[in-house]
Amino acid sequence: MELYEILVLVLSFVILLGIGVPVAWTLGVSGVLTILLSIDTITAFTTMAQRFVTSLDSFTLLAIPFFILAGQLMNQGGIATRLINFAKNVVGALPGGLAHINVVAAMLFGAIAGSSVAAASAIGSILGPRMEAEGYSKEFGAAINITSSTTGLIIPPSNTLIVYSLASGGTSIAALFIAGYLPGILIGLSLMAVAAVWTLYKDFPVGERGTFKELIKSFFVAFPSLFLLVVIIGGIVVGIFTATEAAAIAVVYTLVLGYFYNEISFGDLPDILMNAVKTTAIVMLLIATSVSMSWVMSFESIPQAISDGLLSLSESKVVILLLINLILLFVGMFMDMTPAVLIFTPIFLPIVTELGMDPIHFGIMMVLNLCIGICTPPVGTLLFVGVSIADTTIPKVIKPLLPLFAAMLIALLLVTFWPALSMWLPQLFGLA
């Protein structure tokens, strides 16, 4: 019976997605069709409706709309320009200076905004034309912008890590946030290494070295923006406030900062709020249908069947983790991060914990893995955003993307098989 239910779930999901049904509705309908195999119609629909509502009844999830709004305010509040100028004085004189500026600025902006799309839009729209004017190919600029923007999903605060905390049954958000720093920096350094080699190979120009005075000046100009990270992460780790309260503080802080920079006016607020509401509605609908589908799978014992199947293939921890990574890489090519985290965490988490892997470590590995997926065709959100901003095409961007993908895969393997990268900081702060 389990095999039959898995077949119905997978086939209905693939068919609905293939004919263009939105992911959220695909998840909901697939879940209903599967649960109908076990219980009567009225009970099935009533239960699913209850699951939709109760899945969103969470104080922790309230952090997501606040962080989304904070990201919208940052995107318009002049923060990106100040971070780019600071990054320019730090790494601009290295081989491939503008590419390094893109990576560092994306890491800083993405970490502050907690959104890869916001980072790609803000940094790409500013640096893209500048890179092209200085001789960099449009495609390389798009590729480095796309991949570097993923670092904001690993370096806290990150909405995806909050979703993982929910899906994993309450893994500490503070521990997840702290655990993301070293892997996020590792991704950034890996991309910078590829950019340096690519720049030397293509003979792209090297930027001028800024003076120490310019560095200090740019740091103080960017400091109010950077200080937000100290407020949010420091407050959560020390225990002054929760992640949800930190998100609300981030909204107030960025709003005041936007007015201070004279980049946001009262007239801008309706559009900013409307964009935040639209994004929040999409994310919450995805969460509701994803959590409901996860419940259906648990009810039908599908995760246990998959777990038994994977563990029967091999007793080697290395082989099992490689298989899980390959499955997630494949899933990431076709599914957005939020539903992927909500659906596959209950499936794979019991397997890896049985192998001795900490849930914090697995969460970072999973999110990093799915970050690669949003950069890949056919449905990579970040890929389409980056290509659109650069005014180019996906086939042209694929070639410069390949070595960057390779660097991200190497970083993924290091994070997977070197637990200290994820666990050292949480253990140092007594969070794990």
241: tokens are: 């406030």
149: CB partners within 8 A, 6+ apart: 106, 110, 116, 117, 119, 120, 123, 124, 382, 386
Region of residue 20 (phi > 0: left; psi between -120 and 50: alpha; otherwise: beta): left
Q: Residue 235: its pLDDT value, please?
A: 84
Distance CA 325, CA 413 (A): 9
Checking if the pLDDT of 1 tops 60, the result is: no
Centroid of chain to Cα 24: 18
Alpha-carbon span 303 to 159, nearest angstrom: 25
What would the pLDDT profile of 95-130 be if each residue is shown by its tens digit? 767 788 888 888 877 767 666 777 777 777 777 887
Question: What is the helix (H) or strand (E) element at residue 422, kind and residue range?
Answer: helix 420-428
> What pLDDT digit, counting tens, does each position of 354-398 carry?
889 999 999 999 999 998 988 887 667 788 878 888 888 888 888
Q: Which of 223-232, 306-315, 337-346 has the lowest mean pLDDT?
A: 306-315
Query: Residue 379 has what pLDDT?
Result: 66
pLDDT digits (tens, 9 = 90+) for 166-210: 888 888 888 999 999 999 999 999 998 988 888 777 776 666 666
Residue-averaged pLDDT of the chain: 83
Whole-number pLDDT of residue 413: 95
Rounded to whole angstroms, the Cα distance separating 276 from 289 reads 20
Percentage of the chain exceeding pLDDT 90: 17
The answer to whether 222 and 85 have CB atoms below 8 angstroms apart is: yes
- Matching residue, tokens 């600025």: 105
pLDDT for the residue 293: 80
pLDDT one-digit tens code per residue, 128-164:
887 787 777 888 888 898 898 888 888 888 888 888 9
Q: Distance between CA 141 and CA 138 in Å, rounded? A: 5
Buried b (16+ CB within 10 A) or exposed e, 63-97: bbbbbbbbbbbbbbbbbbbbbbbbbbbbbbebbbb
Q: What pLDDT, on the 0 to 100 scale, is given for residue 186?
A: 93
Q: How far apart are CA 269 and CA 21, in angstroms?
A: 32
Place of tokens 């050292």: 424
Split at pLDDT 50, 70, 90, the class of 77 is low
DSSP string, 342-406: HHHHHHHHHHHHHTT--HHHHHHHHHHHHHHHTTSTTT-HHHHHHHHHHT--HHHHHHHHHHHHH
Q: Hey, what long-range contacts does 404-409 have (CB within 8 A, 24 or more apart)?
A: 404/143, 404/144, 404/147, 404/191, 404/194, 405/147, 405/372, 405/375, 405/376, 406/194, 407/190, 407/191, 407/193, 407/194, 408/147, 408/150, 408/187, 408/190, 408/191, 408/368, 408/371, 408/372, 408/375, 409/372
Residue 429's SS3 state is: coil
Residue 149 tokens read as 């923007």
Structure confidence at residue 298 as a pLDDT band (50, 70, 90): confident
Instruction: Assess whether pLDDT exceeds 80 at residue 79.
Output: no
Exposed, middle or buried: residue 301 (CB in 10 Å: 0-12, 13-18, 19+)?
Answer: middle
Selected residue with higher pLDDT from 244 and 2: 244
pLDDT surpassing 50 at residue 33: yes
pLDDT of residue 416: 95
Which of the pair, 77 or 280, is modelled with greater confidence? 280
